[in-house]
Amino acid sequence: MTTGTPPFYDNHHRISADMVQQIIALMPGLDDTHRRILSFMALSGDQQGGRSSIQEIADYIGFKPAAIRNRLKVLVSAGVAEHHLVSFEGCRRPVSLFRLIVPEVGRLANLGSALPSPAPIPVLPESHEIHSFSHELFSSILRDETPFFVDNLFCTVLFSALPVSRKLIYDPHKVIVDWYGQDVPVTLRPLAERPVCKADDLRFYIGLITYLVELVQTEGVPLSVIDGGAWTIKVSDVLNVMGLSTSGGNTKTALASFERLASTSVELSALPKQVMERYDFERAEQSFQALGNFGIYQKTAKVNKTAFITFTLPPTINDSLIKYGRDFFKLSPNALRYNEAYFLRVHLWAKRRLGQNLSSKTLDHRRAWKEISPGIPFKEHIKRFNDVVLNFVDYVDSLLANEVITRVQFNMLVIGRPRAVQGKHQVINASINVFGYILRITDTHIHITRDIADPYVGLGSQSSVMLDSAGSVASLVKTDN
């Protein structure tokens, strides 16, 4: 028997309320709302065992059906429910059915009792439009979650694992990255039926971290964050730090990036011994999320709407923000404002290769390919790398033609113009400055040199070449030098 309108839920296996309580006891990471949903589904099954609309759960909990559906997806990912597509009279397309199931209780008993509960989801005013889903919840249920320093992992190594694609990817994305000369399998796993994060999303993530560093320096750390709660910030503040216009589609693009970051679990295996010793890992398999307990809401004003986001960061990142502040993560804002995902990869790769101490480094193209983008064929990498060089030079040419920059500034960015392709690799030869890192490219090797005048990379206190932070189109600022 089916009652109500889709989407539906059922207790086809007639799992008793007592059994649900045993499952809940083995999963301390579940919050009160998820426990009440499980109990209600079991109670409904004891009474009738048929399909019912999730509107019934919404009425019982006091949430909207969309919020209940998001929480049911969390329970699916946690292994205590299944998601099916079923036919329904009057609907041309299949509709969703969420079914209560018995999980692998032995596995939950081994994992759940030793794991801490996630940070509480922030309570927002009822007048705000809320789209909230907690992914840190089932990440902590299913596996050990150990936080990392964002600059030493996500922005130094794992950028090469993020797909460079215009298409949204809903399936697990597997890549092998190079870390301390060892192959480390990485799996980006989508959560709650959302796509995995992409390479360009990292631009907004770094912008977010950069803004938080500035916030801590000027206003301090909110008490709620110190106590393990969530951050609440305006998206426009992140865009301002990145030098992007707060009008147009930038806010929508940023929100989409944050949602993908929050809905992706990063799973690592076969970690190198150096990494395990550095972070005091007992196992070579680890997983983490960039953002947890993520939510979006809008505060409506007479003139416009201000978009806010709430989120939690892994404890180590929070601690780093509090303790280290300015030294937490340094990246040239120019690299964030230049909207090209593969260019950002090259910039982050150069940063990784030189680290804090080296002034230069030379690598062959196959080694560079393995570190920049191991998830695509070598020929495809060379094509994208050539496009990065040509597009960047064309961009700087246009700035010079429009008198946005001077000839001196042009020569600082384009040191050697692209030359005809030669040799077996067919790599365009050129010398360009990717905002702090000078790349001298031959057919066989790339020679990286640190720009000592750059304030984020080198020793300088001011940069003579900076992207414009005022206009909607990124440009370079003309100076009197």
- The mean-pLDDT minimum among 163-172, 332-341, 457-466 falls in 457-466
Are 14 and 81 within one domain?
yes
Q: Residue 427: what are its φ and ψ, rounded to 5°?
A: -95, 130
pLDDT of residue 378: 93
Single out the residue of 351, 361, 324, 307 nearest to residue 131, CA to CA: 307
Q: Is the distance from CB of 451 to CB of 438 less than 8 angstroms?
A: yes
441 within some domain = yes
CA 251 – CA 340 distance, rounded (Å): 17
Are 26 and 128 within one domain?
no
Q: Is the distance from CB of 68 to CB of 37 less than 8 angstroms?
A: yes
Q: Is the distance from CB of 258 to CB of 264 less than 8 angstroms?
A: no
Radius of gyration of the chain (CA): 25
109 within some domain = no
240: burial class by Cβ within 10 Å (0-12, 13-18, 19+)? middle
pLDDT at residue 316 is higher than 80: no
Are 61 and 177 within one domain?
no
Domain interval for residue 203? 115-329
Q: Is the distance from CB of 251 to CB of 235 less than 8 angstroms?
A: yes
Q: Is the distance from CB of 84 to CB of 99 less than 8 angstroms?
A: yes
CA 387 – CA 481 distance, rounded (Å): 30
- The mean-pLDDT minimum among 279-283, 322-326, 458-462 falls in 458-462
224: burial class by Cβ within 10 Å (0-12, 13-18, 19+)? middle
Question: What does the DSSP assignment read for 90-148?
Answer: T-SS-EEEEEE----HHHHHHHHTTSPPPPPPPP--TTSEEEEE-SHHHHHHHS-B---
Number of domains in the chain: 3
Q: Residue 166: what are its φ and ψ, rounded to 5°?
A: -80, -20
110 within some domain = no
Are 305 and 375 within one domain?
no
CA dihedral 437, 244, 210, 451 (to 10 degrees): 10
Boundary-marking domain end, from 329, 352, 386 = 329
Single out the residue of 7, 293, 33 nearest to residue 138, CA to CA: 293
Q: Is the distance from CB of 309 to CB of 258 less than 8 angstroms?
A: yes
Region of residue 47 (phi > 0: left; psi between -120 and 50: alpha; otherwise: beta): alpha
CA 376 – CA 163 distance, rounded (Å): 9
Query: Between 263 and 13, where is the model more confident?
Result: 263
Are 325 and 343 within one domain?
no
pLDDT of residue 106: 46
CATH of the domain at 21: 1.10.10
Are 214 and 254 within one domain?
yes
CA 398 – CA 414 distance, rounded (Å): 12
447: burial class by Cβ within 10 Å (0-12, 13-18, 19+)? middle
Are 312 and 355 within one domain?
no
pLDDT of residue 227: 67
Are 393 and 475 within one domain?
yes
Question: Can you tell me the mean pLDDT for 399-415?
Answer: 88
CA 279 – CA 284 distance, rounded (Å): 11
Are 358 and 293 within one domain?
no
Are 306 and 352 within one domain?
no
Residue 441, Cβ neighbours under 10 Å: how many? 23
Residue 188's H or E segment, with its range, is strand 182-190
Strand partners, 8: 53, 97
Question: What does the DSSP assignment read for 144-162?
Answer: -B----GGGTTTTTGGGGS
Are 434 and 357 within one domain?
yes
Q: Is the distance from CB of 456 to CB of 330 less than 8 angstroms?
A: yes
Residue type at position 411: N
pLDDT tens digits, one per residue of 18-36: 888 888 877 766 777 888 8
pLDDT tens digits, one per residue of 127-179: 333 333 333 332 332 233 333 345 556 666 778 888 888 889 999 999 998 88
pLDDT of residue 296: 85
Full 3-state SS string of 347-412:
HHHHHHHHCCCCCEEEEEHHHHHHHHCCCCCHHHHHHHHHHHHHHHHHHHHHHHHCCCCCHHHHHH
pLDDT of residue 3: 67
pLDDT of residue 108: 46
321 within some domain = yes
pLDDT tens digits, one per residue of 50-64: 678 888 888 888 888
119 within some domain = yes
126 within some domain = yes
Residue-level length of the chain: 481
CA 12 – CA 27 distance, rounded (Å): 22
Are 248 and 355 within one domain?
no
360 within some domain = yes
- The mean-pLDDT minimum among 288-292, 343-347, 430-434 falls in 288-292
Boundary-marking domain end, from 303, 329, 355 = 329
DSSP annotation of 195: P
Boundary-marking domain end, from 72, 104, 136 = 104
334 within some domain = no
